[in-house]
Structure 1
Amino acid sequence: MYQIKKLIVCLDQSPLDETLVKFASFVASINRTEKVYFINVIRNLNIPKEVLKEFPNLIDNMVAERKSQMKNVVDEHFDHDLPADIALVVKEGQLSKKILKLAHEKSADMIIVGRKVQLPGTSVVTQRLARRASCSLLIVPEGRVPKVDRILVPSDFSDYSKDAMEEAVLIAEKNGGDVEVFCQNVFTVPSGYHFTGKSYQEFTQIMQNHAEVNYKKFIRKIDTKGIKITPLYTKDEDEDPVEDILQMALDLKVDGIIIGAKGRTAATALFIGSLAERLIQLNDKLPLMVTRPKGKNAGLLDYILEI
């Protein structure tokens, strides 16, 4: 996995900004990030031309005020001893489009966005970013404290699960190797198991045995850098693996979840798997990182931005 050299942080002038700036500082310290763009998007103003003619500095003053407010929260909560260069960006327009365009133009490695729980707001923008961003996305619920003592990586042993595990290993390595990493595979017992002559318990064990073999093949492809990774196998009872993942995360008291965005080819890299999408929808307690190989298919992104 690549390191996070260019980082975009989405601020909205709510109390969540403080949390996001702290996480940005944390991510920048781990990755020796070179550039951090803090962005705030003003909704389409649609100010009549006559008003702008009468008050020609209206928009400039609004932008200056937003930047001043952003600077205050960044100055207070970002570690300025870090080598990262800070930029404050204020745009006007549709939120998700402006963020995606900035990420594309700056060749960003990660976008950090907040998840509101008690604060007013929705997660629609977060879902759009997760589907369309051409880089990784870190979704942070309000009130979380940045730390990574324990990380859960849900895995189906695919290539995009490999991306997520490599990111977890990188984070653990950058934190001195003391991070506990858990790799969870959620498996199901097929409904036709009884035609095999095996009992439900017997077929459950067969499915777990296969998962254990596949984990060994999977982990051999990854340079774990000496980091201890604990495999976990969970039988899905209700055809909803996301519930099993979230429950495991809470039981283990992890500090965050890392999952790969489905799609590594140019044609599919800007779309997201159903498991990651469901996690984004249901998880409002833990930071969730959705990893994606950087810079896939800029032409398709240009098309999406025009939609």
Structure 2
Amino acid sequence: MRRSLLFVWGLALGGCAWEPGQGFAVVEPSVRVAYAPLSSRAASDGYQRLSSDYQVRLDSASMRLSGIELLASASGSGSGGTFDPARPPPGYSLCHGGHCHRDDGALIPYEQIAAEMGGGGGSSAVVTLATEGPLDLLAPETRALGCSPECALPQTQVSQGRWSVAALRLVGTVRDSRVPARFQGERAFVLELPTGTTTDAPVAILTGAVDLPSDRTTPPEAKLHLDLVLTAALFDPVDWGALVKDDRIEFDNNARTALVERLSQLKPQAEVSRGE
């Protein structure tokens, strides 16, 4: 009788920690995206030096996210092949710059495609995080994220976050620090991605590591802070002199592609703190 009472009491205590349907972890997500000037690149008048000896200053910058997927390794045998960027697997094309173009327009990193082709069966989305409206990169704030379908996670190990960048708008000026200069004075620019097309494909896909176990061995409450930092290095591959049109900069397809590729190489950071 005593053993039975102790057993029932133990079940009651367990129910206080994990209510039915609560999930193995309940995530409280937030995000912050910023453009950060670097002291090592600092020039006068708020400009940042580029590897090309051009200098850039941003006057406004914003990003809109269509979603951040939290991914866990999926079971499965995969195709068993070896990933070769020169011969992308079915569903992919044009592999370059560390990623391939998927048929739906997404840019998928090499390592994710290799995992899908290997023994792990790739990754699957556990939950999608979303925020409304654009994020101001020059006045960054930590913003709460919504969860779909819900913030209660199943039993799993979240190992990656996949960010879908829906839009990016950067406004600023560029100048040349070489003597003699490749062009004189400052030139204003406005970079808007996408370029007014009707496609729903993201501008870029970014992936970063996340260590978020959802199980019975860790406290169920989990605060997840996601952080992305852009720097002037984003502009390093651009040949600004080739884009000068009268008193302004006009981006061509090559410059846009170079910027998207550099953006896609950024690695978002994730910090997880658990309840006691």
Give the TM-score taking structure 1 as reference length. 0.22
| Higher CA-based Rg | 2
Q: Which has the higher helix share?
A: 1
Specify which structure has the bigger relative contact order, considering alpha-carbon pairs within 8 angstroms and separated by 6 or more residues: 2
Q: Which has the higher strand share?
A: 2
